[in-house]
Structure formats: C-alpha cells, structure tokens
A and B are shown apart, each in its own frame.
Chain A
Amino acid sequence: MSLYLSFKEILRYKGRFFLFSLVIALITILVLFISGLAEGLANANREYLSKLDGELLVFQSNVKLSTLSSRLDSSTLQKVKRIPGVADVGPVGLSSATLVFEDNREDVDISLIGVEPEKPGGAPAREGSNLRLKSANETVIDGNLARSSDLEVGDTITVKSIQGTEEEYYDLEVIGISDGRQYFFQPSIFVSMEVWEKIRSQAAAGGENNPIAYNILVSRLQPGADPEAVASEIESQIDDIEVSDIETAYKATPGYAAQQSTLNTQRGFTLLIGILVIGGFFQIQTLQKIPNIGMLKAIGTGNLTVGMAVVMQILMVTVFGVVLGTLATLGLAALMPAGIPILFTPLTTLAAMLSLTIIGPLGGLLSVYLAVKVEPLMALGLSQ
C-alpha cells in the first residue's frame, strides 16, 4: 500500500519530482567528482608505492618515512636479505628529471626511479620486456606517460637532469611499458640502479663515482611470513633503519593526509548540504500534504503505511537522482581531457552512491516524523 501511494504520487507530480531528482543528480555529480578527485590525487601520489611487489619498505631511521630523505647503503641491503622470512629485497632510488622531445611535444616532468632488474621495486612491463641489464641505457616507462606522450616500445627518449649546475641529456631506449605507476604526481620511468645513479640530478657533477645510496629497500616476504614479525626482526637486527608496510608509507608522504582530509571535508559538507536540501524539500512536501494525510488516517490508513510511503518516495526520488547523477558523471569523466587527476574506481563510486542514497532517508526523517504525527482528527477540523 505504501509503495502504491508513493508511486502514484510521484507519477502524478512527475515534473516536480523529476526536477528534484535533478537537484539530487547535481549533488551526486559534485560528490562523485570530489571523490574522484580525492582518489585521483591520492593515486597520483601513491600509485607507484601501492603497486609495489613487496610487503615491507625499509627506510633510514629518523626521516619520518620520507622516501626522498632516506639514504641506505648496500650493506643494509645485504643485511635485510639475511633476515628470516625475507624472500627477496630490491633497492629503489627516487629522483625527478625531465623528459624532453625534439619535436613540438611538451617537456614532461617525470619520477626517475632506479631499480635492480628482476628485484622487488621495479615495474613489470605490460608491453615489451622488463629491465634485464644493469648498465644498459634502457627504460621501462609508465603507461600514463606512454599514453600522454605517445611513446611506444623501441622509441628513444631523452632525459634531462642537472649535474652540478649543468643540464645533461641522456638517451634511453624504451624496452617496456608498465601499467600506471605515478609517483609524486609525475609519471615514472624505470632504469637500472647504475643508470639511475649516472643520470639522476646531483649537486656535484661526477657523482657516479661515489658508492650508490638507495632511498628505500623493498622487501618481499616468504609465503606465510608475518609482516609485523619480520618488520620487528629487521628493526632489531639492523641499526638506524625503520620498517613500514606500504600503506603506512604512502600515508606518510608529505601532504597526502592533509590533501585527503581537505577533500574528505569537502565531500562531507556536500553530503551535509544534500541532507539539508532533501530534508527541506520533503518537509515542505509533507507540510503541504498534512490535510490529505489526516484524511488518509481518518479512513483507516495506519502510521506504518503513511510513514513507509514517505520513506519509499524519498528512496525512489533519491535513487533515481543518484543513478542519473552517476551516469552524468561517468559521461562527463569520459569527455574530460587527460591529465586531470580524477579517478573513478568501482569501490569509491559505489561508496559515494551508497552514502548519497543513505542521506535521502536521513534528510527525510523529519518528514516521516511529521507525517506520522498528523492527527486523523484534522480531517474533521479538530485537533487534540
């Protein structure tokens, strides 16, 4: 009966309800875009770390898990390898460089990542082949970069870095293209540790003669090993290091938490606005219907039926608005130019849709209360 009454009313006043669904759709678009932006920015910050083929990251101690501040040497690498439970360890060097093109394509700032071929920390090639040789001028590039700069396996790219005060240019052959591996909002290119040490920007030219200092170590554990126990073991056996799991590490990235909390606050406020707008609309709607609700109650319609009719109406209008908004958002996202850090994952999109669907009945609670409190005596012009 509730469904019948609510559906009939929507059908009768479809223009009014459709307009209101459009308002909910607009709120949905806003929430989804903020969610997408939060996810996109987070992903641009953490994509490389979150896809690492290892469970634990080893940092220098007292650097607050900062990948760029951390410095580790090869002896630490050897010590970590010997810890029980560790299957393999790979060193990672991180720095920035610029990709330059001879044609009129724009220069691209990139994360230059040095890894040991076939060790944890690298990016498996989705196309072409993985890094194999320690000293070859070869690179595996991030799929984002391949797409945005129109690069293919077999192309030669030129990387510019600063050695001392001079700009130096290095040619690298693209031997593979990985999936998306952005780091610090930049697409990445992967080179062997030796090549990385040679071409990374350094304060003094000729730095390649010094022993290599890695930024972090990526440790892959043996099957069944307890990450927490192994992390404690590493920290107890090796001095001046700190071990973290991957999630803790990327959450410690400078600005990550602040950025996410800002966007989450925006999302929260948008949902709150949604609750107020939906609540306001249905409250006005219910106030207009009070004489009618009084009559329905007088002829024997129970409170449950009246209350459920309001809830169902809110749900129908909200779900329609949310679905409409989601479709519009996905359509708009498809039209957006590349490079905007917006990412719609099924999980975040569904979470946003669910929260929007919940705010409808939440906003309409007052309307349900109003409807249930209407006295049937009103039908006779009386009131208790």
Chain B
Amino acid sequence: MNTIVETKSVTKIYETSEMKVQAVDQASIQVEAGEFAALVGPSGSGKTTMLAMLAALLAPSAGEVIIDGHDLGKMSDNQRVQFRRERIGFTFQANNLVPYLSVSENVDLMLRLNGIFTPANRQRSRELLERLGLGERLNNMPNQLSGGQKQRVAIARSLIHNPSLVLADEPTANLDTERAFQAVELFSNLIHEQNKAGIMVTHDLRMVRYVDKVIQMMDGQVVRIIDDPEEICTMAGVPVTPTLPAYKAAYSPTLN
C-alpha cells in the first residue's frame, strides 16, 4: 500500500479579533494511491477547510499534513506553490477554466506551468480529451461548452501533469443529475486507472457510489470513515451488487 495522503491530528483554527472558530479538529485520515475518497458532511463541518489544507492552500494550526511523503507544514510559501503545481490536480465547483483559453489550451496550461509542454505530452492531452468525449471541442472556448463539458475539461486538466493527488471540490454542484453521475464516474475511472489518490468533497451522497472510502465530517471532526463497499452503496442509495464490486474489481488495485 502506498499512502499518498496522511493527516495526523490536524487542526485548523480561524482567528479574528472578535472570535475563534475551530474549523477542523484533530482530523486524521489516510488515502492510498489508487483510492478515491469522498469527504462528506453538512455545511460547516470543515470539509472545504480540510481540502484546502490537503491542497497546500492553508497551513494547519496544529498536526501534520503529509502528501506523497512531504510534510506540507515544513514548506515555504514558494515551495507550496510549486508542490501544488507539480503534485496536485484540482477541479473546483466553479470558475474552473481560464475563459480566454480554448479547451486544449486549458488542459495544456498545467503542462506549460510545469515546463513539460512537449509534443508527447501534448499528444497525451489530446488523447485524454478525446477519451473524455471532447475531441471535437478542442478549439472551443469555455463559454461554448455545457457545464458537464467544462467539468470534463477540468478533470483532464487535473490529471494531465501526472499528479500524486487529485482533489475535487463539489465537482457536481452545478450539474444536473445525469451529468453529475457521468462526471464523477469518469473521475473515478481515471483515478483508479492512473493509480492516483483522489479526494472529492461533496454534499451529494448519491455520488459516493463511485468512491472507495467515505470520510464523514461533523463540526470539524472526522466522525466516521467507511470503506465497506456495502455500507457505501447503502449510503449512496444503490444496490450493492453487481455495480459496485464489479466496478471496484475492474479499477481498484487495492481490491484485486
């Protein structure tokens, strides 16, 4: 097992002159390579703050965040920027794409930022977009795409530079049910295929059918970690067999 994400009693306190809010309280989680986890919980449970710490966007107030063997707390600001660029892939709820870059340019952006915009990688980027059903849309601008297509471009961008960890913040929030399922399934397939660690923040429990692990948060604490497929299917409201085990058997090396 190759642990990509590990937090040890991580705590985040937001402080202002008037108040102090403990957004994350001694949370400890682990996500392995080839494992797709969902971070769920009600609003204000600390999911997004947790994601921000995993993404090296926020420094924890206490505890450790270790991604791919690197303790993020020991990094300088510049090192964190570089780490995000090289080791992390992102999809967001909104404003995912650069509006003045075409579909292919948005994906290639990660290659350019990392200085690996080679003909071979460019070809990989085209192939990935074609696989995501965007082969005919390479030169389209973001405003010419539907919400689902935009999310697929963002998925491609989050994976193209071969990161260790892929993070998704409410990737289905702006999509209708059908497109939401398609996007998360696609995401899950690619994470498993490419043996990445993936974490998705979602408030939509139906989406957890595509994950291997559900991390449930409440009032800043990790209250439950569910990795039993049956329990996950129950949570997602879908029959246990044959969908989930078959799916996992096909893509997750951890369950082979």
Contacts and interface: CB of A to CB of B under 8 A. Distances in A.
A4 B58 CA distance: 28
Interface of A: 1, 4-5, 8-9, 11-13, 291-292, 294-303, 376-377, 379-382, 384
A332 B169 CA distance: 57
B86 A300 contact: yes
Interface in B80-115: 81-86, 88, 90, 92-96, 98-101, 105, 109-110, 112-114
Contacts, number: 79
A376 B57 contact: yes
Closest 8 CB pairs of A and B: A300-B85, A12-B100, A300-B84, A291-B95, A9-B100, A302-B81, A295-B95, A379-B92
B95 A8 contact: no
B49 interface: yes
B81 A300 contact: yes
Contacts of B85: 299-301
A379 B78 contact: no
A64 B176 CA distance: 87
B190 interface: no
A9 B83 CA distance: 26
Contact of A377 (B58, B88, B100): B58
A248 B19 CA distance: 69
Contact of A300 (B52, B82, B96): B82
A302 B52 CA distance: 17
Given A299-B110, A300-B86, A301-B113, A12 B52 contact: no
B217 to A, nearest CB: 15
B185 to A, nearest CB: 23
Interface in B25-66: 48-49, 51-52, 55, 57-58
A296 B98 contact: yes
25 contacts: A5-B98, A8-B100, A12-B99, A292-B99, A295-B92, A298-B57, A298-B84, A298-B90, A299-B109, A299-B110, A299-B157, A300-B81, A300-B84, A300-B86, A300-B110, A300-B113, A303-B81, A376-B84, A379-B95, A380-B51, A380-B52, A380-B169, A382-B49, A382-B58, A384-B58
A13 B95 contact: no
B226 interface: no
A302 B80 CA distance: 10
Nearest to A295: B95
A5 B101 CA distance: 9
A377 to B, nearest CB: 5
A358 to B, nearest CB: 27
Given A300-B113, A380-B51, A12 B141 contact: yes
Nearest to A305: B113
B161 to A, nearest CB: 9
Nearest to A379: B92
Contacts of B112: 1, 4
Nearest to B101: A8
Contact of B100 (A13, A297, A298, A300): A13
A5 B90 CA distance: 19
A297 B82 CA distance: 10
Given A377-B58, A380-B57, A299 B90 contact: yes
Nearest to A294: B95
A108 to B, nearest CB: 60
A294 B84 CA distance: 13
Contacts of A8: 100-101, 105
A8 B57 CA distance: 27
Given A12-B141, A300-B113, A380 B92 contact: yes
Contacts of B84: 298-300, 376
A300 B109 CA distance: 11
A8 B100 CA distance: 7
Contacts of B105: 8
B55 A298 contact: yes
B169 to A, nearest CB: 5
Nearest to B89: A299
A318 B120 CA distance: 37
Nearest to A290: B95
Contacts of B83: 300
A344 B114 CA distance: 49
A346 to B, nearest CB: 38
Contact of A295 (B96, B100, B114): B96
Contacts of B98: 5, 292, 295-296
Contact of A302 (B78, B95, B101): B78
Contacts of B157: 299
Contact of A382 (B52, B96, B101, B114): B52
Q: Could you say which of B90, B93, B112 has the most chain A C-beta atoms within 10 Å of its C-beta?
A: B90
A159 B51 CA distance: 92
A13 B99 CA distance: 10
B92 A382 contact: no
A358 B10 CA distance: 49
Nearest to A377: B57
Contacts of A377: 52, 57-58
Contacts of B52: 377, 380, 382
Contacts of B55: 298, 380
B121 to A, nearest CB: 16
Contacts of A4: 112
